[in-house]
Structure 1
């Protein structure tokens, strides 16, 4: 692998799925061959200390821009090219293609011989807007490879870039640490601590935002409780949508059956997945396709933990499910979504053998296709 400069807005300790993806990949590469140029996170003293402590713990240098959002301005591009030359890097990996991939021509002129840009859900949204679509086309033409999460993101982005750039696209989804997410991850202890022993548990682990569909789960709950009255909906995660979800649960009279944990430290997430009998997140597409699920790593983490999954049909979420084998894909939006979600959840809660079979198939699928070591080898090849 060439010495590589990672240019990104998405790097811990800022939370998020792209951040976790980049960091997990970086930790599995040779640290002597990496330099990270990233935006900072937060302005107050506590956040600044968290950034400094995090950066000091990394096995590779992390250079922070003073901006909380790194954009392809002349100043930021000059800083990136200076870092490329100072550290002797000959490859660049843009953690998210848009918009930082617009730096590619300047970095190539400065000596970069390989430029790889990773796309996520938001680039699929860019592909639908004329101005952004033109910028995405420029990024595709000036980099060596655009990577994509799954078939949904590939199809949307390929239509926006040149035929040559589309032909050079390579799949590079996030991986799952199958040694961390596994059936013995500590779910029983979480259930006992939360008072859920011997109760059916539907778990959803995600940020609390409208796209994820926690409200659909709450709307489905009266139907679930009519057949399985002891069921608990365990909602794991924090976010701005929590107050609305709590009000919805109160309005529907199901508050006693919904348990919010709030944000949970990353190291405790595997056990919280394991606390469920079924994982469900009926995500939806919003804003005319601009707010869409890129893949849905939580479905894969649930499968690694041995749970059957119920996923919404937003964007690339179906790419993270073998429909009918590791779980089911349901409609995430529309009036019928709660009933369809409730039907699939009840089928799983009522059939332990089906849950076991789908959970085992999901675990095997993770080991076959989604392990980090397989995907990191792919990235190494792209940066060679």
Structure 2
């Protein structure tokens, strides 16, 4: 079988959704046929030790560049072509099309027969700006396939890269580890530890940044508490917006009904999803469309855990919800509409059960990692 070189900045132990996306698919490829060329997570002894431990545990070869951010410079391009030749790789997967896909012509000249570049939310932003739009067009024209998350990102990227390259776009989404995220993931233990055993819990699992909408949930809490007085909002995750969110909970007068866990290790995330009765993340688009949700894998992880979801309408987030079946989509930033849907779910156990079961079944049918890895294999090794 042909070997694949994965070129990426987005790889663990660097945390994040794109990192988990790439790692989960890489783990499902033949480890003897994969080489990863990645940036260094962070400099310093602690970062180096964490990276070394992680790399040693992988079933495939991981080569780290000395820089914390790979860019398509002559040096990085030369290193990538050296790895391609040294390991006999004939396929390349760019973990993020922009900007690494600009190395595609050099790698093709070095012997790559198939070049696949994956797009996320930021490529849709590139498509809106004149300078980066031209670079994105070059990437589309020099690779064999650009993958996309959903119709929102596809339509914007397709308009930038031209009809010939757009015709070669193929959907490739993140998936869900349905064996880790499931209804019996340990939520009862988390609830007990946090003193929430008998309270209705709205859980939000995400990085704490303005786009995700944790502030909207806090602003919705007075309305929710008016109908469900013992409800609690459980905010799981860390990030730069943490101080503002704590302050907002105080000024809104709901601090006693909002719990912040801070960052949680990945292996504990399924149990934290399971601690909720409803999952909500009313994400919104910001900065004139430059800060947008690419898909929202958290909604699918919640569905796999058996929770109904309330999502925002930013970007591709609605693609992760079957409207009225696995949950609802509300306008991002609307505390009133988020509260209305959350209250409806908290007050109706049968509705929660039905939506949770439908969400779990949908994940098993459509969003499993093994199905997505097979799709990528086909793209990398098709003639």
In the superposition, the TM-score normalised over structure 1's length comes to: 0.99
1:151 Cα deviation from its structure 2 partner: 1.1
CA distance in 2: counterparts of 1:127 and 1:235, whole angstroms: 33
Tell me the equivalent position of 2:319. Answer: 319
Tell me the equivalent position of 2:380. Answer: 383
Find out whether 1:61 has 2:61 as its counterpart.
Answer: yes
1:34 Cα deviation from its structure 2 partner: 0.5
Find out whether 1:157 has 2:154 as its counterpart.
Answer: no
CA offsets 1:310-364 (integer angstroms, 9 cap, x no match): 000000000000111100000113xxx0001000000000000100111011011
CA offsets 1:174-233 (integer angstroms, 9 cap, x no match): 111111111111111111111101100000000000000000000000000011110000
Tell me the equivalent position of 1:253. Answer: 253
Total equivalences in the alignment: 381
Tell me the equivalent position of 2:344. Answer: 347
CA distance in 1: counterparts of 2:163 and 2:281, whole angstroms: 35
Find out whether 1:357 has 2:338 as its counterpart.
Answer: no
The residue correspondences of 1:82-93 to structure 2 (distance < 5 A) are 82-93=82-93
CA distance in 2: counterparts of 1:312 and 1:162, whole angstroms: 30
CA distance in 1: counterparts of 2:289 and 2:331, whole angstroms: 15
CA distance in 2: counterparts of 1:116 and 1:278, whole angstroms: 37
Runs (5+) with no aligned partner, structure 1: none
Tell me the equivalent position of 1:40. Answer: 40
Tell me the equivalent position of 2:189. Answer: 189
CA distance in 1: counterparts of 2:98 and 2:171, whole angstroms: 17
1:164 Cα deviation from its structure 2 partner: 1.1
CA distance in 1: counterparts of 2:53 and 2:99, whole angstroms: 28
Find out whether 1:371 has 2:368 as its counterpart.
Answer: yes
CA distance in 1: counterparts of 2:9 and 2:27, whole angstroms: 17
Tell me the equivalent position of 1:266. Answer: 266
1:63 Cα deviation from its structure 2 partner: 0.7
CA offsets 1:12-63 (integer angstroms, 9 cap, x no match): 0000100000000001100100001111011121111101111111111111
CA offsets 1:285-304 (integer angstroms, 9 cap, x no match): 01100000000000000000
CA distance in 2: counterparts of 1:74 and 1:186, whole angstroms: 49
1:2 Cα deviation from its structure 2 partner: 2.1
CA distance in 2: counterparts of 1:249 and 1:149, whole angstroms: 34
CA distance in 2: counterparts of 1:39 and 1:146, whole angstroms: 22
CA offsets 1:247-305 (integer angstroms, 9 cap, x no match): 00000110000000011111110010000000000001011000000000000000000
CA distance in 2: counterparts of 1:343 and 1:350, whole angstroms: 11
